[in-house]
Amino acid sequence: AQSVTQLDSHVSVSEGTPVLLRCNYSSSYSPSLFWYVQHPNKGLQLLLKYTSAATLVKGINGFEAEFKKSETSFHLTKPSAHMSDAAEYFCVVRNNAGNMLTFGGGTRLMVKP
Amino acid sequence: SQTIHQWPATLVQPVGSPLSLECTVEGTSNPNLYWYRQAAGRGLQLLFYSVGIGQISSEVPQNLSASRPQDRQFILSSKKLLLSDSGFYLCAWSDYRGLGTEAFFGQGTRLTVV
């Protein structure tokens, strides 16, 4: 079985300050991990993915995430928040032994001017 | 390139009425297909997934059903809607080869049962 825990349901930062959205996972096999962003009433857009290559993954819009197997974490970061980053973010694990995607509960990022 | 179409974008239905949401994928063959529901202020709940025509797996018991009449068509249905069926429904597809591939999402359907 696999699971994903997003440690913060809400994160609030000021524009121009760093962003950290935390994600921990559990998986019986080597997982593929993803971060998605969802703007209100929209579908989910892929930010980045980890698929057993480089552990530091760079994505769109200046986001990146680091896979740490020893900590079973895949935290999402961005050096400087922009107002347009305000959205809901989902950490997702895909078990390479199957076709299942498991979503975290989501983190709502708010960016203050 | 691959695209996913989901419709309608919004829907208001009375309690007890039927439901049919449709999702189609273009530009790929034998995709894995998914239906998710997102209730207000909550994460995504997997409702159904399908690895091939006529093959449907249900993740949670509920008032809904799914069908896959064609390779790239996935339909979410209900015979009688409940108030609790309100939510944001998302269709998604992923490559059948699985390993390391992400899912691609439609734009969602906002269903309000009144």
Q: Does A44 touch chain B (CB under 8 A)?
A: yes
Place of tokens 């994903």: A4
Q: Does A101 touch chain B (CB under 8 A)?
A: yes
Task: Give per-residue pLDDT as tens, B64-85.
Answer: 999 999 999 999 999 999 999 9
Residue of B nearest to A105 (CA): B43
* Mean pLDDT of the region A60-77: 95
> Is residue B1 within 8 Å of residue B100, measured between CB atoms?
no
Where residue A98 falls among pLDDT bands split at 50, 70, 90?
low
Where residue B61 falls among pLDDT bands split at 50, 70, 90?
low
- Tell me, what's the pLDDT at A52? 76
> Is residue A100 within 8 Å of residue A29, measured between CB atoms?
no
Task: Give per-residue pLDDT as tens, A16-68.
Answer: 999 999 999 998 777 889 999 999 878 899 999 998 778 899 999 999 999 99
Cβ neighbours, 10 Å, residue B86:
19
Residue B51 neighbours by CB under 8 Å, 6+ apart:
A99, B32, B57, B96
SS3 call for B84: helix
Is the peptide bond preceding residue B8 cis, with omega within 30 degrees of 0? yes
SS3 call for A86: coil
Q: In chain A, which residues have their Cβ closer than 8 Å to the Cβ of B108?
A: 41-43
Whether residue B99 and residue A32 make contact (CB cut-off 8 A), yes or no, is yes
Mutation choice for B interface testing from A38, A52, A101 by most B CBs within 10 A = A101
Residue of B nearest to A44 (CA): B105
Cβ neighbours, 10 Å, residue A8:
16
Q: Does A31 touch chain B (CB under 8 A)?
A: no
Residues 49-78 of A with CB under 8 A from B: 49, 51-52
- Tell me, what's the pLDDT at B41? 66
Task: Give per-residue pLDDT as tens, B29-46.
Answer: 889 999 999 877 677 888
Which backbone phi and psi does A54 adopt, to 5 degrees? -65, 140
